[in-house]
Structure 1
Amino acid sequence: MKVIVTERIADSGLEYLKEYVDVDFRLDIPREELLDIIKDYDAIIVRSVTKVDKELITRGKNLKVIGRAGNGVDNIDLDVATERGIIVVNTPEGNIISAAEHTIGLMLSIARNIPQAYNGTINGDFRRNKFKGVELSGKTVGIIGLGRIGSLVATRLAAFNMKVIAYDPYIRDSRFEKYGATKVTFDELLKESDFITIHTPKTEETIDIIDEEEFKKVKRGVRIVNCARGGLINEDALYNALKEGIVAAAALDVFKVEPSYDREKQDFNNKLLELPNVVVTPHLGASTVEAQNNVGISVAKEVVTALNGKLYGNIVNLPDIKADEFGELKPYMKLCEAMGALYYQINDIPISSVEIIYRGHISQHNTDVVTLHALKGLLKPALKEGVSVVNARLRAKEMGVEVIEGKIDEINHYSSLVILKITDTKGGISQFAGTTYGDEIRIVEYLGHKVNFEPTEYMLFVRNKDIPGVIGHIGNVLGDFGINISSMHVSPNKSDGTALMIVNTDREIPHEAVESLNNLNSILRAKAVKGLI
């Protein structure tokens, strides 16, 4: 497998990658060249400058994983990646302390005019009255976004004896209490804050979250810090507010349009840089030795893990699943994918809905990722390509398939059971059920038959007359084609004189062998199935 790294990560991260994959480190690679060669790579690792947009993703015919060395993923087109079944991973924990501490540093800088005083002093200007600042103690700080970084900032600013208020519509009240922040509305935060700091992801909802209208509501003389993402504050509106004295000072670690962070000299035009009451740093939020090592190693491990098909960790476009839970759910993922893969190989009627019911112990878990495996198995024979656990739910929606999930605590006979109930467009119902014994998977119901078999790579499903000699006939036909029978399971139906025969074979069963079986008088229907595991 090949991985390209287009921005600087810690050497420790590159060394880790080299242990498992072929790595190309291409710092400052021209975009046109990247577009030309991306087709050769299984994964790409970026930070914040490389735009992994629709054009790049579409050109990446072999891309399986996109790694973001850092928290935000606004430079990655998640919708397109998901559409193409590409896993996107990031490292939200690796640099949170560094980002929180940098926020505090910038806040102190604009409170006490530290950069301006430094520049004045080294140039012989020691007029300290020129650099008079304000204290943090006793002031109100408004935190927009009380997630990982925002909560760390809250606890640190509380130690400065600041009154901490916060706005985050997606956070439970208990989190505000935990971090000593008073929950307020967005308008209340704007009106009451002496300092405002932003810690939200960049989404359609948060772009220009502070714009001209918001600056009309703020307390005059407010100071603003943005260490999160460029574009959260409208830069034209901020410029005007600074010029008019509405905002006393601003500290920015990010811009809407980012420069290159690896060139010594470059032309970068942004009128905010012209103002004396603006402090800027070149996206230093994660630039500490500790954070870079954490992020570099973390993104390398996340990418390698995802390339190896292990779906736990910081996968942005999959349900959250922890490593310990992954181990327990992994057999059910395999089971449900196998049950799903049965349908279109034994039935050619389109699906209208699929119901996945979890019973017993499995119902206590977050089973979202198991459902995705069931959908992947179900749709892959129909779609052939372009379906993965990442986009399986989207593909089902595009096909008009309703997905229903249910959980029931009570169960008989098994500790856990998963039922896959598929309704076709003619109203017919196909039902499969399965369970696990440790890492072993078993299908225990097949189209109304009580069974107990292990799905394998090559299988034959036969509905036959329940009469003597059928097993011998099947064995003879398969033997004529050089196919060995690994195991066989027979489930008779006493009510209609038929039986279901499930045969595991050592190799793929050719179409000619199936035709020969279907020509036998004793065989009602024979279907070869492959790729269940």
Structure 2
Amino acid sequence: MKILITESIAEESVQYLRDRGYEVEEYLGHSQEEIEQYIKGFDAIIVRSATKINETLLNNADCLKAVGRAGTGIDNIDVKACTEHGVIALNTPTANNMAAGELAVGHAFSIFRNLCAANEGVHNGDFRRGNWVGIELEGKTAGVIGLGRIGSIVSRKLKGVGMNVVAYDPYVPQEKFDKLGVTRCKTLDELLPLCDLITLHTPKTKETYGILSKEQLYKCKRGVRIVNAARGGLVNEQDLADALSEGQVAAAAIDVFDKEPSYNKAPGEQEYDNVLLHAPHCYITPHLGASTVEATAKVGQGIVELIDGALKGELVAAINMPQFSGSIEDIKPYCSLAEKIGRMYFQAEATPITKVEVRYRGELAESTGTGIITLSLMMGLLKGMGNDHVSYVNAQECMAETGIEVVETKTESIQKYNNLINVKFVTEDGRELKINGTVFGPDTEVIVSFFGYEMNCPLSDTVLALKNNDVPGVIGRIATVLGSHNINIASMHWGRKNQDGSDNPHAQAFVAIDQPVSKEIIDELSKAEGVLKVSLLELAD
């Protein structure tokens, strides 16, 4: 079999493939168009961040079985197109974690001790060390925004140099904070005024984009230091430049921009500009988070092992190919339902959870595919927590990183439905919130109970979940508000009984709508007489 490598990986990794009998060609330094024409005859292709695995390349490939990115992201791989072409898509999502974490810590040292400014000074003949008096990290407080894999690494290392570490992550249970020895802040506003250093480690989502803007920067201590080695756009670049100029932020270290430059152009060819390039006391590196010898070796070795396994037909950690013994078509509707149930939780409830219990009832309990359904539930829950890179193959690992326990059980006993998925979310404060669902026919996904209310609601991509007093007039008021904003109602379903059949003074509604609604409309609905709570459930990517 033939493997094409279009961007450099460690030579040991290339040799690994050759030692196993593959014909490997390193086709480096060529344009996207040239690669798209050259792909014919290859069984696999290995890329890093520049080569795009797109529809054109896939259409030109005549025997491609697997594509692999030696790195974390998948932004240059059209995963949907790969799936449609039957091509396995692979990456190495954890290989860069230590490198990224260490860079953030290195940046912290640099801006506390003025290392970059001092280096530039002495190279220009200025040895007046009094100009670069720094501040010690020992005893200072570091604020970590995002306590995932990399945030945990950074927390551990900063504690190791004597810093007090506080962290904000609304999706992580208290147990993980305790394990790391990190003080939990329940809100970002609680964290900001405590910190001498703030370092960001969240994915870039609509919730985290601009998470540090002018308002947040001026809630910090005057003289705070900022590190962003995570994702461009988490910090508003103009607001940070202004805060640096005004002295509100003493220094910043930035490895990523909202809009990135080309990392291959020589200085004379580079036309990129950014406001932070002109801001005082702002120290910038060209996206070096994964640029270590060790990370390069890990991503290279990791991807060649995955490619080898994929070409041998083994079960591998593919982005787009969950595998089990059975027909994927039989369980596909239940996977979709489970993912939607997972997405619902953090859109309807803010309390962190410590445990998820999923039970399969009826004929579904006999299926060997319930593990894949559980992974779908995890994916939905993780996407609700802002993880936009989760897949079937890394969902279990990502969930383990959150500290949330997931337990799967089965019972063949049948209540009302031939097949039923029972999901119980155990909250940090000891409550048990349950969502149950089933599937009718090939594609009708139905919620039969929601947080204790008995329902019978077919799902759509966008749903308003409303809790209200069980009194006349509420339905009309809700419909009037939506109608006044030209929001079409696809269906409305109310649950008035508790799951055990007893009466409840409140009702729970699911209102399926044809288009998304704004925060202003949500606020207007929340103020309607009799309405107690409104949650927007967005259940599709």
Deviation of residue 123 (structure 1)? 1.9
For 1:173, the equivalent position in structure 2 comes to: 174
Deviation of residue 254 (structure 1)? 2.4
Matches of 1:371 and 1:150, distance apart in 2: 25
2:272 to 257, 263, 269: 269
Q: SS of the residue aligned with 1:164?
A: strand
Matches of 1:275 and 1:137, distance apart in 2: 27
For 1:290, the equivalent position in structure 2 comes to: 294
Matches of 1:356 and 1:85, distance apart in 2: 30
For 1:91, the equivalent position in structure 2 comes to: 92
Question: RMSD of the alignment, in Å?
Answer: 3.9
In structure 2, do the counterparts of structure 1 residues 159 and 334 end up closer, same or farther at CA, with 3 Å as the change threshold? closer
Deviations 1:176-230 (A, max 9, x none): 1111222222232333322111222334443333334433433332211122233
Q: Is the 8 A contact 1:230 1:257 kept in 2?
A: yes
- Counting only pairs closer than 5 Å after superposition, residues 65-214 of structure 1 correspond to structure 2 as 65-78=66-79, 80-81=81-82, 86-184=87-185, 185-214=187-216
In structure 2, do the counterparts of structure 1 residues 172 and 296 end up closer, same or farther at CA, with 3 Å as the change threshold? same
Matches of 1:193 and 1:72, distance apart in 2: 30
2:325 to 324, 327, 334: 334
1:222 to 193, 199, 224: 224
Q: Could you tell me the percent identity over the aligned residues? A: 45
For 1:4, the equivalent position in structure 2 comes to: 4
Larger CA Rg, structure 1 vs 2: 1
Q: Is the 8 A contact 2:142 2:166 kept in 1?
A: yes
Q: Is the 8 A contact 1:78 1:88 kept in 2?
A: yes
For 2:373, the equivalent position in structure 1 comes to: 368
In structure 2, do the counterparts of structure 1 residues 56 and 142 end up closer, same or farther at CA, with 3 Å as the change threshold? farther
For 1:309, the equivalent position in structure 2 comes to: 313
Deviations 1:394-434 (A, max 9, x none): xxxxxxxxxxxx963469xxxxxxxxx99768x9xxxxxxx
Matches of 2:221 and 2:227, distance apart in 1: 15
Deviations 1:290-322 (A, max 9, x none): 222112100111233234333333x34456xxx
Q: Is the 8 A contact 1:85 1:390 kept in 2?
A: no
Deviation of residue 287 (structure 1)? 2.4
The aligned amino acid for 1:309 is: G
The aligned amino acid for 1:311 is: L
In structure 2, do the counterparts of structure 1 residues 262 and 371 end up closer, same or farther at CA, with 3 Å as the change threshold? closer
Q: Is the 8 A contact 1:212 1:237 kept in 2?
A: yes
Q: Is the 8 A contact 2:68 2:90 kept in 1?
A: yes
More displaced, 264-273 or 245-254? Answer: 264-273
Q: SS of the residue aligned with 1:224?
A: strand
Deviation of residue 133 (structure 1)? 1.7
For 1:252, the equivalent position in structure 2 comes to: 254
1:358 to 359, 365, 380: 365
- Counting only pairs closer than 5 Å after superposition, residues 34-45 of structure 1 correspond to structure 2 as 34-38=35-39, 41-45=42-46
Matches of 2:296 and 2:321, distance apart in 1: 25
For 1:234, the equivalent position in structure 2 comes to: 236
In structure 2, do the counterparts of structure 1 residues 66 and 118 end up closer, same or farther at CA, with 3 Å as the change threshold? same
The aligned amino acid for 1:6 is: T
Deviations 1:412-457 (A, max 9, x none): xxxxxxxxx99768x9xxxxxxxxxxxxxxxxxxxxxxxxxxxxxx
In structure 2, do the counterparts of structure 1 residues 9 and 181 end up closer, same or farther at CA, with 3 Å as the change threshold? same
Deviation of residue 257 (structure 1)? 3.6
More displaced, 217-226 or 37-46? Answer: 37-46
For 1:513, the equivalent position in structure 2 comes to: none
In structure 2, do the counterparts of structure 1 residues 337 and 152 end up closer, same or farther at CA, with 3 Å as the change threshold? closer
Matches of 2:440 and 2:174, distance apart in 1: 42
The aligned amino acid for 1:92 is: P
In structure 2, do the counterparts of structure 1 residues 340 and 141 end up closer, same or farther at CA, with 3 Å as the change threshold? closer
Runs of at least 5 residues in structure 1 that lack an aligned partner in the other structure: 320-329, 342-354, 373-388, 392-405, 412-420, 428-533
Q: Is the 8 A contact 2:5 2:47 kept in 1?
A: yes
Deviation of residue 236 (structure 1)? 2.9
For 1:347, the equivalent position in structure 2 comes to: none
Matches of 1:234 and 1:49, distance apart in 2: 26
Q: Is the 8 A contact 1:357 1:407 kept in 2?
A: no
- Counting only pairs closer than 5 Å after superposition, residues 395-434 of structure 1 correspond to structure 2 as 408-409=410-411
TM-score, normalization: structure 2? 0.57
Q: Is the 8 A contact 1:82 1:390 kept in 2?
A: no
In structure 2, do the counterparts of structure 1 residues 171 and 369 end up closer, same or farther at CA, with 3 Å as the change threshold? closer
Deviation of residue 47 (structure 1)? 2.8
Q: SS of the residue aligned with 2:283?
A: strand
In structure 2, do the counterparts of structure 1 residues 212 and 63 end up closer, same or farther at CA, with 3 Å as the change threshold? farther
Matches of 2:234 and 2:29, distance apart in 1: 26
TM-score, normalization: structure 1? 0.58
Deviation of residue 232 (structure 1)? 2.8
Deviation of residue 390 (structure 1)? 8.3
In structure 2, do the counterparts of structure 1 residues 183 and 131 end up closer, same or farther at CA, with 3 Å as the change threshold? same
Q: SS of the residue aligned with 1:98?
A: helix
Q: Is the 8 A contact 1:20 1:304 kept in 2?
A: no
Runs of at least 5 residues in structure 2 that lack an aligned partner in the other structure: 333-361, 378-390, 394-407, 414-437, 445-541
In structure 2, do the counterparts of structure 1 residues 42 and 54 end up closer, same or farther at CA, with 3 Å as the change threshold? same
Q: SS of the residue aligned with 1:233?
A: coil
Matches of 2:206 and 2:181, distance apart in 1: 29
Q: SS of the residue aligned with 1:357?
A: helix
Matches of 1:214 and 1:168, distance apart in 2: 16
The aligned amino acid for 1:269 is: Y
The aligned amino acid for 1:366 is: G
Q: SS of the residue aligned with 2:371?
A: coil
